[in-house]
Amino acid sequence: MQDLIKKTEAYVREMLKNEGTGHDWYHIDRVRKNALLIQKQEGIGDVFVIEMAALLHDIPDEKLNITEEAGWRKLDTYIDTLELSSTKVQHIKDCIESVSFKGGRETNLRTIEAEIVQDADRLDAIGAIGIARTFAFGGKKAQPLFDPEISVRTEMTTEEYRNGKSSSIHHFYEKLLKLKDLMNTASARQIATKRHEYMEEFLNQFYKEWNGQV
């Protein structure tokens, strides 16, 4: 199976080589490392499925494709070259489908592998890396750093989450600060707690500087 991992690494590197929104190869590699760490600490789950799903989880993402359907066709075309069993393919795809936040909608996670990959992806959205990725993505979308006249959105459709009016700072309240309590595994919750605290410290400092406080 290691040859399929190496092949998939090369494929994902090529697909994301010009990506500038924080969903690049290094994001993928961090998610893979997070997922394998969680699996090791939890002592459960199919390591191959977890690693493959982590590597491929952004290939069908609608943010990186013309449409979500086009993204899934791209993923299917690649997976067909691996000659895996239909059961293994479906397991990997189920994990990938469950990863996205999409405005906080609930997802039906049917396996521990899906829970681990979702946790791993969400861990990379918080803490110091999460802060950096938030401003990279906001810049790519031409969003303001912060606009105090914009209200924080609570209930959102996927379309509203993707395309509604917001700012990078608002994104903390609309997604990032929610993730700690949405982790599936004990290992991820432990890691998330420290990263969550770091984001709160950042926001406190941001508001002091925004308001011209010493």
Q: Which single residue is written with the structure tokens 């390591």?
A: 47
101 contact partners, CB below 8 Å, separation of at least 6: 122, 125, 161, 175, 179
pLDDT (0 to 100) of residue 19:
87
Of all residues in the chain, the percent with pLDDT exceeding 90 is: 76
**Residue with tokens 């982790």, as numbered in its chain:** 183
What the chain holds in terms of domains, given with CATH numbers, is 2-210 (1.10.3210.50)
Dihedral in degrees, nearest 10, Cα atoms 115, 67, 175, 192: 30
- Going by the DSSP 8-state scheme, the letter that residue 61 receives in this structure is -
pTM above the 0.85 mark? Answer: yes
Q: Which range (36-50, 65-79, 159-173) has the least confidence?
A: 159-173
Q: What is the mean pLDDT of residues 25-37?
A: 98
Rg (CA), the chain: 18
| Range with the poorest average pLDDT among 38-47, 105-114, 198-207 | 105-114
Residue whose tokens read 């791209």:
74
Predicted local confidence at residue 18, as pLDDT: 86
Instruction: Express each pLDDT in 117-176 by its tens digit.
Output: 999 999 999 999 999 999 999 998 889 999 999 988 887 777 777 767 889 999 999 999
Average pLDDT (69-78) is 94
pLDDT for residue 82 is more than 80: yes
Indicate the helix (H) or strand (E) that contains 160: helix 158-163
State both tokens at 26. 């290094």
The DSSP output letter for 124 is T
Q: What is the mean pLDDT of the chain?
A: 92
